[in-house]
Chains A and B, each alone.
Chain A
Amino acid sequence: MSQSARSNGFGRVLVVVYGVLAIAATGRSLVQIVRDFDAAPLAYSLSAAAALVYILATVALLKRGAGWRRVAVATIGFELVGVLAVGVLSLTAPELFGHPSVWSWFGMGYGFIPLILPIVGLWWVLRGSERNNNAH
């Protein structure tokens, strides 16, 4: 088993959860933009951006190498900032963000997984890198 792959061991579960969330968020934001874009253009645009970042994070977790590790940290970090910022804004500015999107109300519509996942994800990626550095 390759030690450098972020998609081995527990990382495999992480990749699958990210993949499913990426698929679900992409599908939903596609529906929202096609059907109901004018209701909340800002929230729905952000939803679509979030969905794309989830796809990129899934790919980054699957790929090897230090470059992809940086991409993984950047995308997962972006998600953490996004879910916290939009979570607060959905409560303080509901006219802009009070629509069902992946990050509204700290990801409540997705069982708070969008809030928990980046924390677990960052822990996994950074932990994996330490182990790799020790191995070299």
Chain B
Amino acid sequence: MIAWMMLAQAALLGLLGAGVTVAGIAKVRMNDWILGAAAIATLTLVVQIVASIIAPFTGSGPTGDPFEYWVYLVMAVLIPPAVALWALIDKGRWGVVALGVALMSVGVMVYRMHQIWFVQVF
């Protein structure tokens, strides 16, 4: 696993989330761009899952608890599609704000996963 990639992913999720949140506050309704942001977020998490499966075989497993890491990762990947789906069902600005906040939360979760993988604070 490459450290800067996960940090870049967390930053990207934070930026996407902030952008979507601002769009929602500015009363932008659900559109292809916002759905695209959710799709990109999900895609990066799927890539991370694949990378996390491969990485231990190339001799760079997590320095922390793999169980904790996977609990976070599996939850994180489910959040963007679930919230995006909810925003699609009832199209309003608050659904967009909720999606933005969710993407930012996932960014924080990825940052936490980065800590589990690389940094041991305990």
Same complex: yes
Q: B94–A8 contact, CB under 8 A?
A: yes
Interface size class on chain A is 20 to 34
Which residues of chain A are near B94, meaning CB under 8 Å?
Answer: 8-13
**How far, in whole Å, are A8 and B90 apart by their CA atoms in the complex?**
9
Question: Does residue A127 face the partner (Cβ distance < 8 Å to B)?
Answer: no
A-contact bits for B35-71, CB 8 A (1 contact / 0 none): 0000000000000000000000000000001011001
Interface secondary structure of A, over-half rule: helix
Segment touching B, from A23-31, A40-48, A53-61, A71-79: A23-31
**With contacts A12-B94, A24-B109 known, is A31 near B79, CB below 8 A?**
no
Interface residue from B65, B86, B101, B109 paired with A17 (Cβ < 8 Å): B101
**B87, closest chain A residue (CB):** A12
**B28 close to A (CB within 8 Å):** no
CA–CA, A30 to B67, complex, Å?
10
Which residue of chain A lies nearest to B82 when distances are taken between CB atoms in the complex?
A19
> Does A80 count as interface, using CB distance less than 8 angstroms?
no
Besides the known contacts A12-B94, A16-B101, A35-B68, 5 further A-B residue pairs in the complex with CB atoms under 8 A apart? A9-B92, A12-B95, A13-B97, A28-B68, A31-B65
Q: Can you offer 14 A-B residue contacts whose CB atoms are under 8 A?
A: A8-B94, A9-B92, A9-B94, A11-B94, A13-B98, A16-B86, A16-B101, A20-B79, A27-B71, A27-B75, A28-B68, A31-B65, A31-B71, A35-B67
